[in-house]
Protein backbone atom coordinates (compact mmCIF):
# COMPACT_ATOMS: atom_id res chain seq x y z
CA UNK A 1 0.00 0.00 0.00
CA UNK A 2 1.17 3.52 -0.67
CA UNK A 3 2.49 5.79 2.00
CA UNK A 4 0.41 8.98 2.02
CA UNK A 5 1.85 12.40 2.86
CA UNK A 6 -0.66 15.10 1.98
CA UNK A 7 -1.33 14.80 -1.73
CA UNK A 8 1.83 12.81 -2.42
CA UNK A 9 1.94 9.05 -2.67
CA UNK A 10 4.98 6.86 -2.94
CA UNK A 11 5.59 3.17 -3.43
CA UNK A 12 2.64 1.94 -5.49
CA UNK A 13 3.28 -1.72 -6.24
CA UNK A 14 1.52 -4.01 -8.72
CA UNK A 15 -1.60 -4.69 -6.57
CA UNK A 16 -2.20 -0.94 -6.18
CA UNK A 17 -1.55 -0.36 -9.91
CA UNK A 18 -4.08 -3.10 -10.76
CA UNK A 19 -6.67 -1.24 -8.67
CA UNK A 20 -6.18 1.88 -10.78
CA UNK A 21 -5.83 0.36 -14.26
CA UNK A 22 -7.88 -2.22 -16.16
CA UNK A 23 -4.77 -3.38 -18.05
CA UNK A 24 -3.39 -6.86 -17.43
CA UNK A 25 -0.49 -8.89 -18.81
CA UNK A 26 0.69 -8.61 -21.54
CA UNK A 27 -0.63 -5.03 -21.89
CA UNK A 28 0.24 -3.76 -18.42
CA UNK A 29 3.30 -1.55 -18.97
CA UNK A 30 3.74 0.04 -15.53
CA UNK A 31 5.52 -1.99 -12.86
CA UNK A 32 5.83 0.53 -10.04
CA UNK A 33 4.89 4.07 -9.14
CA UNK A 34 7.72 5.87 -7.39
CA UNK A 35 5.88 9.12 -6.75
CA UNK A 36 2.44 10.56 -7.42
CA UNK A 37 1.32 14.09 -6.63
CA UNK A 38 -2.44 14.20 -7.10
CA UNK A 39 -3.56 16.71 -9.68
CA UNK A 40 0.03 17.34 -10.81
CA UNK A 41 2.42 14.55 -11.79
CA UNK A 42 3.51 10.93 -11.58
CA UNK A 43 6.86 9.14 -11.76
CA UNK A 44 6.45 5.47 -12.66
CA UNK A 45 8.74 2.68 -13.89
CA UNK A 46 8.59 -0.11 -16.47
CA UNK A 47 11.20 -2.85 -16.13
CA UNK A 48 11.96 -3.83 -19.73
CA UNK A 49 12.89 -7.52 -19.89
CA UNK A 50 13.95 -9.74 -22.75
CA UNK A 51 10.88 -11.90 -22.05
CA UNK A 52 8.54 -9.25 -23.52
CA UNK A 53 6.69 -10.78 -26.48
CA UNK A 54 7.37 -7.89 -28.84
CA UNK A 55 11.14 -8.47 -28.69
CA UNK A 56 10.75 -11.71 -30.68
CA UNK A 57 9.98 -9.75 -33.82
CA UNK A 58 11.16 -6.19 -33.12
CA UNK A 59 13.91 -6.72 -34.21
CA UNK A 60 15.55 -10.18 -34.29
CA UNK A 61 19.22 -9.68 -33.53
CA UNK A 62 18.66 -6.12 -32.22
CA UNK A 63 15.66 -6.09 -29.86
CA UNK A 64 14.16 -2.63 -29.39
CA UNK A 65 10.98 -1.66 -27.52
CA UNK A 66 8.54 -0.16 -30.04
CA UNK A 67 8.01 3.57 -29.65
CA UNK A 68 4.24 3.17 -29.58
CA UNK A 69 4.62 0.95 -26.50
CA UNK A 70 6.70 3.64 -24.82
CA UNK A 71 3.82 6.04 -25.46
CA UNK A 72 1.35 3.43 -24.16
CA UNK A 73 3.42 3.10 -20.97
CA UNK A 74 3.28 6.90 -20.55
CA UNK A 75 -0.48 6.82 -21.16
CA UNK A 76 -0.93 4.11 -18.53
CA UNK A 77 1.05 6.20 -16.04
CA UNK A 78 -1.25 9.12 -16.93
CA UNK A 79 -4.24 6.84 -16.37
CA UNK A 80 -3.03 6.08 -12.85
CA UNK A 81 -2.46 9.80 -12.24
CA UNK A 82 -5.97 10.64 -13.48
CA UNK A 83 -7.71 7.86 -11.54
CA UNK A 84 -5.86 8.67 -8.32
CA UNK A 85 -6.24 12.45 -8.69
CA UNK A 86 -9.99 12.17 -9.26
CA UNK A 87 -10.50 9.36 -6.69
CA UNK A 88 -11.91 7.00 -9.33
CA UNK A 89 -10.21 3.74 -8.27
CA UNK A 90 -12.81 0.97 -8.05
CA UNK A 91 -15.54 2.98 -9.79
CA UNK A 92 -15.22 1.23 -13.15
CA UNK A 93 -14.32 4.51 -14.87
CA UNK A 94 -11.71 4.21 -17.61
CA UNK A 95 -9.22 6.64 -19.11
CA UNK A 96 -9.24 6.57 -22.93
CA UNK A 97 -6.65 8.01 -25.32
CA UNK A 98 -8.06 10.78 -27.53
CA UNK A 99 -4.98 12.32 -29.15
CA UNK A 100 -1.20 12.07 -29.33
CA UNK A 101 0.73 15.17 -30.35
CA UNK A 102 4.36 15.95 -31.01
CA UNK A 103 5.71 12.48 -30.31
CA UNK A 104 9.46 12.29 -30.63
CA UNK A 105 11.67 9.26 -30.23
CA UNK A 106 15.18 10.08 -29.08
CA UNK A 107 16.91 6.80 -28.23
CA UNK A 108 16.22 3.04 -28.40
CA UNK A 109 14.98 1.11 -25.37
CA UNK A 110 16.57 -2.32 -25.11
CA UNK A 111 16.04 -5.35 -22.86
CA UNK A 112 17.43 -4.92 -19.37
CA UNK A 113 16.56 -1.23 -19.15
CA UNK A 114 14.57 0.46 -16.43
CA UNK A 115 12.24 2.81 -18.32
CA UNK A 116 11.43 5.87 -16.22
CA UNK A 117 8.01 7.37 -16.99
CA UNK A 118 7.29 10.97 -16.01
CA UNK A 119 3.88 12.45 -16.77
CA UNK A 120 2.31 15.75 -15.73
CA UNK A 121 -1.10 17.32 -16.21
CA UNK A 122 -1.05 20.32 -18.54
CA UNK A 123 -4.82 20.81 -18.46
CA UNK A 124 -7.49 19.20 -16.32
CA UNK A 125 -11.22 19.42 -16.91
CA UNK A 126 -14.11 17.30 -15.66
CA UNK A 127 -13.81 14.57 -18.32
CA UNK A 128 -10.93 15.57 -20.61
CA UNK A 129 -7.33 15.94 -19.47
CA UNK A 130 -4.14 16.89 -21.28
CA UNK A 131 -0.73 15.57 -20.31
CA UNK A 132 2.90 15.82 -21.25
CA UNK A 133 5.08 12.80 -20.83
CA UNK A 134 8.72 11.83 -21.04
CA UNK A 135 10.30 8.37 -20.94
CA UNK A 136 13.99 7.95 -20.17
CA UNK A 137 16.68 5.38 -19.44
CA UNK A 138 19.63 6.30 -17.21
CA UNK A 139 18.71 9.98 -17.50
CA UNK A 140 18.63 9.91 -21.32
CA UNK A 141 15.26 10.80 -22.88
CA UNK A 142 13.98 8.02 -25.13
CA UNK A 143 10.54 9.40 -25.95
CA UNK A 144 8.46 12.51 -25.29
CA UNK A 145 4.95 13.51 -26.25
CA UNK A 146 1.82 15.43 -25.35
CA UNK A 147 -1.49 13.60 -25.28
CA UNK A 148 -5.16 13.98 -24.41
CA UNK A 149 -7.35 11.49 -22.60
CA UNK A 150 -11.01 11.22 -21.68
CA UNK A 151 -12.46 9.74 -18.52
CA UNK A 152 -15.56 7.66 -19.23
Largest Cα–Cα distance in the chain? 48
Residues 6+ apart with CB under 8 A from 5: none
Whole-model pTM?
A: 0.92
Ordered by start, the domain boundaries in the chain are 3-151
Higher pLDDT: 6 or 101? It is 101
Neighbours of 47 (CB within 10 A): 12
Q: Which CATH code is given to the segment(s) 3-151?
A: 3.10.129.10
pLDDT at 3: 42
CA-closest candidate to residue 136, choices 122, 150, 119, 124: 119
* Strands of the 32-37 sheet, one edge to the other: 3-5, 8-12, 32-37, 41-47, 114-124, 128-137, 140-151, 95-105
pLDDT at 7: 57
63-84 pLDDT, tens digit each: 999 999 999 999 999 999 999 9
Say what percent of the chain tops pLDDT 70.
93
Q: Which residues are catalytic?
A: 58
96-106 pLDDT, tens digit each: 999 999 999 99
pLDDT at position 138 over 70: yes
Q: How confident is the model at residue 1 (pLDDT cuts 50, 70, 90)?
A: very low
Amino acid sequence: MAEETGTESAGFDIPRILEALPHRYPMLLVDRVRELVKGERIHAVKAVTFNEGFFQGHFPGRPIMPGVLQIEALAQAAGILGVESLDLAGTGKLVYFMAIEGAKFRAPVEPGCLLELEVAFTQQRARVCKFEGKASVDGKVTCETQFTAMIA
